[in-house]
Amino acid sequence: MINALIIEDEKPAARRLKRLLEALDLPVNTMLHSVNESIAHLLNNDAPDLIFLDIQLSDGLSFEIFDQVTVNSAIIFTTAYDEYALQAFKLNSIDYLLKPIDKEELKHAVEKFRVRFRESVIPQTTIDFNEIAKLLGNPIDRGYKKRYTARVGEHIKLFTTDETCLFYSENKGSYLHLENGRSYLLDTNLEDLEKELDPAIFFRISRQAIVNINAIKDMVSHVNSRIVVKIDNFTSYDLIVSRERVKSFKDWLER
């Protein structure tokens, strides 16, 4: 059972959020309304799995809570202000939702957390592979990026690489593509993305596209020994592995 907590100074907004979460089968037993109340609660209780956090509270900014309490909970920000997005992303944030909270955006954010939560509770082997890798001079954690932000109107959306099927370029812009068919414009380019992404998961098949191995649904032979890669709900153009990348692509698939 996920232990969730709401920190929101506007009580009607807190109650509405609680109802929306209950409709998503995510019960909330505790609602807090100020910085001081939140500090006292977190100091004297186990940290929740997930916090829904407003930023401007009645007695200050909610960031002040984390100056007083070390909390490793995942956070979904629920706020009327977008200027704190970059500061929020430095914390363990799942998403940044602007008020009034949209039901579909809230559902998407909760599902992102549930995926992470399920992964975190899978029993781990007692072998410490990180320590072994260090002894071999090949650290497992190479610092590859796990999250990207995209602006959608006045909203700033947060996406994880796990949910990103594809990064691609079109009309001089770079986009990430999700399984549901939605694409979002990024403030970066494929050259930088290729350096930042985990090469065990992502492969640049051409000048126009970087694919996630977990999102590949089919592969079809193409002219000149090339390969067409099929990704769900991507229809902008055919994803064709460049001829000079075909061998490397096949090697990558078999690692």
Together in a domain, 143 and 70: no
Please say which residue of 66, 99, 120 terminates a domain.
120
What are the structure tokens assigned to 240, written together?
A: 């064709």
> Is 22 within the bounds of a domain?
yes
> pTM score, two decimals?
0.52
* CATH number of the domain within which 234 lies: 2.40.50.1020
Q: Into how many domains does the chain fold?
A: 2
Place of tokens 């009580």: 11
Give the position of tokens 């650290």: 139
- On whether both 116 and 169 belong to a single domain, the answer is no
- CA atoms of 173 and 158, how far apart (whole Å): 18
Residues 26 and 105 in one domain: yes
- Note whether 100 and 174 are same-domain residues: no
Which domain does 37 fall in, by range? 4-120
Q: Are residues 99 and 18 in the same domain?
A: yes
Q: What is the pLDDT of residue 134?
A: 46
Query: Is there a single domain that holds both residue 109 and residue 146?
Result: no
Instruction: Pick the last residue of a domain from 66, 95, 120.
Output: 120
| Contact residues for 253 (Cβ-Cβ < 8 A; gap 6+) | 213
Q: What is the pLDDT of residue 82?
A: 67
For residues 101 and 179, membership in a common domain is answered with: no
User: Between 248 and 138, where is the model more confident?
Assistant: 248
User: In terms of domains, do 102 and 62 share one?
Assistant: yes
Mean pLDDT of 9-34: 93
Q: What is the CATH number of the domain that holds 109?
A: 3.40.50.2300
Provide the sign of the torsion angle of the four alpha carbons 231, 249, 159, 116, taken in this order.
positive
Domain-embedded: residue 91: yes
> pLDDT averaged over the chain?
85
What distance separates the 2 farthest-apart alpha carbons in the chain?
67
* Domain co-membership, 139 together with 249: yes
Summarize pLDDT for 138-192 with one digit per residue, the tens.
444 457 888 999 888 878 889 999 999 999 999 989 999 998 999 999 999 999 9
For residue 215, being part of any structural domain is answered with yes
Q: Are residues 95 and 186 both part of a single domain?
A: no
The percent of residues in the chain predicted with pLDDT above 70, rounded, is 86
User: What letter does residue 46 receive in the DSSP assignment?
Assistant: P
Q: Do 159 and 56 belong together in one domain?
A: no
Residues 6 or more apart whose CB falls under 8 angstroms from that of 4 comprise 21, 26, 27, 28, 29, 48, 49, 50, 51, 52
pLDDT at 228: 94
Report in angstroms the alpha-carbon separations of 202 from 146, 193, 205, 227.
12, 10, 9, 16
In a domain, 179, yes or no: yes
Residues making up the chain, counted from first to last: 255
23/117 Cα distance (integer angstroms)? 19
Judge whether 128 lies within some domain: no
| β-sheet with 239-241: strand ranges across | 216-221, 227-231, 239-241
